[in-house]
Amino acid sequence: MGRKGRRSPVQRATDMIRGHVPFEQIHRDTGLPMEIIERLRQDVNATRRNNREHYRQQWELSEAALRPLCPCPICDSGHGRLTMFRWGLEDGGNSGYIVQCSNPKCIATTVFPHPTKEEATEMFVTNRLTDQPVEYRPLQRPFDLEQILAELCVTRNLTGERLAGVFRISPDQTVRVLLMADLIRLKVNPDAMTDAALICPECGSTALPKRIQRSRTFLGWQYQCNDPRHAPIHSRTCEHRIEAAEAFRDRQWEVLDGRG
């Protein structure tokens, strides 16, 4: 390696401190005294504090500038807050901006990230919360509106009425989103949801899990529609409750009014 490409022990030690390498290893690898390494650590920490303070001040300035320009389209008390969103780091990474309402009781948010702050702000202010930018549609891992809304349902405990009212999705989409949210809850904590009801994708009513057994032999689980107005609809029998729930969601019927 040429002289120009060599890095000094101080530069290498500084990088190792930033990477949280133990002092003993830095001392062994660079040959620097522990006193020098400690001084470098103090310099690195001071730089980090200065950077954090700078970013905080910039954020407060941008928040103050954004507040009058970005009123919430859903509630009267909140305003939009910009957040950078990153994904696909394994493929080189992408980034965009999401705007969320500052009111913690309000659920207004742009569902998809947008490539610029201006575009994200426009989508929020004009209440086009579910618009997906063309730029991100052909990505390897496309964003799924219903999956994102289902995760929002779980984290914010949303009802179907509030979900449809804020994000203006169709009744069919609302049913699918609520069903996906139930499946997420089941996967997170299946033991706590023995009697968990799902939304029937066929009619929108509730479906309950049923333990299937003959004599004393456990055969598995089914999810069965609870609406008495039509013939029983139930999933195929599965060993685990979450598998039965997914089969019910995907309309893998064992009996469907004689058509299954």
Tokens (6 digits) for 81: 């807050």
- Domain borders along the chain are 8-47, 65-141, 144-188, 193-256
* pLDDT value of residue 184: 78
- Give the C-alpha separation, 42 to 134, whole Å: 47
What is the pTM (predicted TM-score) of this model?
0.49
**Residue-level pLDDT at 260:** 37
Q: So what's the pLDDT on residue 257?
A: 43
Q: What is the helix (H) or strand (E) element at residue 209, kind and residue range?
A: strand 206-214
Query: How far apart are alpha carbons 141 and 48 in whole angstroms?
Result: 34
Phi and psi at residue 86, to the nearest 5° = -120, 145
197-240 pLDDT per residue, tens = 677 777 777 777 777 776 667 777 787 777 776 556 677 777 77
pLDDT tens-digit readout, 141-151 = 446 788 888 88
Sign, Cα dihedral of 15, 18, 20, 26 = positive
pLDDT at 193 over 60: no
What is the spatial order of strands in the sheet that 233-235 belongs to? Answer: 198-199, 206-214, 217-225, 233-235, 253-256
Paired tokens of 36? 């020098």
- Identify the residue with better confidence: 236 or 4: 236
The least confident of 71-85, 97-111, 155-169, 239-253 is 239-253
Contact by Cβ (8 Å): 237, 220: yes
Q: What is the pLDDT of residues 25-82, one digit of tens each?
A: 998 999 999 999 999 989 988 888 877 777 666 656 566 666 777 889 898 788 888 8
β-pairing, 198-199 vs 206-214, is: antiparallel
pLDDT at position 232 is 64
